[in-house]
């Protein structure tokens, strides 16, 4: 028995491979520090074969004329995958930034941990990163990720992506929106921090013998921990709303993607 392998399919397979690889790399769920590189390579290999079968490349696509042309086409697919992956990564950044702001006002800004794949991160930054990941998974985020990836091959076939027609300013605006939402979610903690500062300042004026630095630190921590326990259900509810809306925006972003 002889097997015939079409060279065109091998070429398109590697274009699929690089788009999927650079789509997964920015995501916290698939970063090399979280899963072994070998597992990631096998996963991308299997997904590439699956998507080639599910969304085969249409006829008449550009074929490389030399190695330089092939390198340009691979770079374009990698860039497209990274853009889509970075778009999704921002929703995880929302929870991490929120946790970092909370940590600063709880009084644990000096507590850092080193996490594989994430580098230095504070206690609450890591806590809300985990909470954000669980909210993302519970909202069907993983299914939407792979649906969006499949949709990208339908809307933007291999070799058809033109990086010069995309408006990159939208990512700056999206970053501003993510940071503003994180800041808005952390406003209760900032308000409690300022209120405690005012109370301690008045106490220091009325009772100068009290060591405010010795008393203030435990007060900061206890008040913000109590506030955190009270607000956790609201934070999870808001997180579910933001994640659901963001996943819809991700699919709309792919459907409206310019190709020419």
Of the two residues 82 and 36, the one the predictor is more confident about is 82
Query: Residue 66 above 80 pLDDT?
Result: no
Query: Residue 134 above 60 pLDDT?
Result: yes
Of 56, 29, 5, the C-alpha closest to 158 is 56
- What is the predicted pLDDT for the residue at 156? 87
Q: Please state the rounded mean pLDDT for residues 157-172.
A: 82
Of the two residues 95 and 31, the one the predictor is more confident about is 95
- What is the predicted pLDDT for the residue at 73? 86
Record the pTM. 0.84
| CA 58 distance to own-chain centroid | 31
CA distance 153 to 206: 69
CA distance 199 to 202: 5
CA distance 61 to 74: 14
All structural domains of the chain with their residue ranges: 7-255
- What is the predicted pLDDT for the residue at 2? 57
- What is the predicted pLDDT for the residue at 84? 92
What is the band of 110 on the pLDDT scale with cuts at 50, 70, 90? Answer: low
- What is the predicted pLDDT for the residue at 191? 86
Phi, psi of 9 (to 5 degrees): -70, -35
Q: Please state the rounded mean pLDDT for residues 140-161.
A: 89
Instruction: Say how many CA atoms lie within 13 Å of 19 toward its Cβ.
Output: 29
Query: Residue 99 above 80 pLDDT?
Result: yes
Q: What is the DSSP letter of 121?
A: E
CA distance 29 to 100: 20
Helices (H), 55-66: none
- What is the predicted pLDDT for the residue at 260? 55
Phi, psi of 186 (to 5 degrees): -90, 0
CB proximity list for 126: less than 8 A, separation 6 or greater: 99, 113, 115, 118
Three-state DSSP class for residue 120: strand
Given its phi and psi angles, is residue 201 left (phi above 0), alpha (psi -120 to 50 degrees) or beta? alpha
Of the two residues 161 and 112, the one the predictor is more confident about is 161
CB proximity list for 64: less than 8 A, separation 6 or greater: 11, 70, 73
Least-confidence region, from 98-102, 151-155, 213-217, 248-252: 213-217
Q: Are 95 and 139 in contact (CB under 8 A)?
A: no
Segment 226-240, tens digit of pLDDT:
888 888 888 888 888
- What is the predicted pLDDT for the residue at 124? 79
For the chain, what is the mean pLDDT? 82
The segment with the largest mean pLDDT, out of 100-109, 152-161, 203-212, is 152-161
Query: Residue 30 above 70 pLDDT?
Result: yes
CA distance 172 to 222: 37
- What is the predicted pLDDT for the residue at 161? 84
CB proximity list for 58: less than 8 A, separation 6 or greater: 157
Exposed, middle or buried: residue 178 (CB in 10 Å: 0-12, 13-18, 19+)? buried
CA distance 223 to 151: 47
Q: Please state the rounded mean pLDDT for residues 188-194.
A: 84
What is the band of 23 on the pLDDT scale with cuts at 50, 70, 90? Answer: very high
Angle between helices 67-106 and 141-155 (to 10 degrees): 150
What is the band of 109 on the pLDDT scale with cuts at 50, 70, 90? Answer: low
């Amino acid at each position: 028995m002889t097997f015939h392998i079409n060279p065109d399919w091998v070429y398109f397979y590697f274009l699929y491979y690089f788009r999927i690889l650079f789509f997964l790399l920015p995501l916290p769920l698939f970063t090399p520090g979280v899963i072994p590189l070998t597992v990631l390579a096998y996963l991308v290999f299997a997904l590439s074969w699956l998507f080639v079968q599910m969304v085969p490349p249409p006829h008449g696509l550009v074929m490389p004329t030399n190695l330089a042309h092939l390198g340009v086409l691979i770079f374009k697919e990698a860039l497209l995958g990274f853009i889509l992956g970075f778009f999704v990564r921002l929703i995880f950044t929302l929870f991490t930034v929120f946790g970092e702001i909370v940590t600063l006002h709880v009084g644990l800004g000096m507590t850092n941990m080193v996490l594989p794949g994430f580098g230095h991160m504070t206690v609450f930054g890591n806590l809300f990163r985990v909470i954000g990941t669980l909210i993302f998974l519970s909202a069907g985020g993983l299914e939407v990720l792979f649906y969006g990836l499949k949709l990208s091959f339908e809307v933007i076939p291999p070799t058809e992506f033109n990086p010069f027609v995309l408006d990159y300013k939208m990512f700056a605006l999206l970053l501003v929106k993510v940071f503003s939402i994180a800041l808005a979610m952390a406003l209760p903690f900032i308000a409690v921090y300022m209120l405690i500062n005012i109370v301690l300042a008045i106490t220091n004026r009325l009772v100068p013998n009290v060591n405010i630095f010795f008393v203030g630190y435990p007060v900061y921590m206890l008040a913000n921990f109590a506030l955190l326990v009270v607000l956790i259900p609201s934070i999870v509810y808001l997180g579910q709303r933001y994640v659901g809306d963001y996943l819809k925006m991700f699919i709309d972003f792919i459907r409206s993607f310019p190709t020419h």
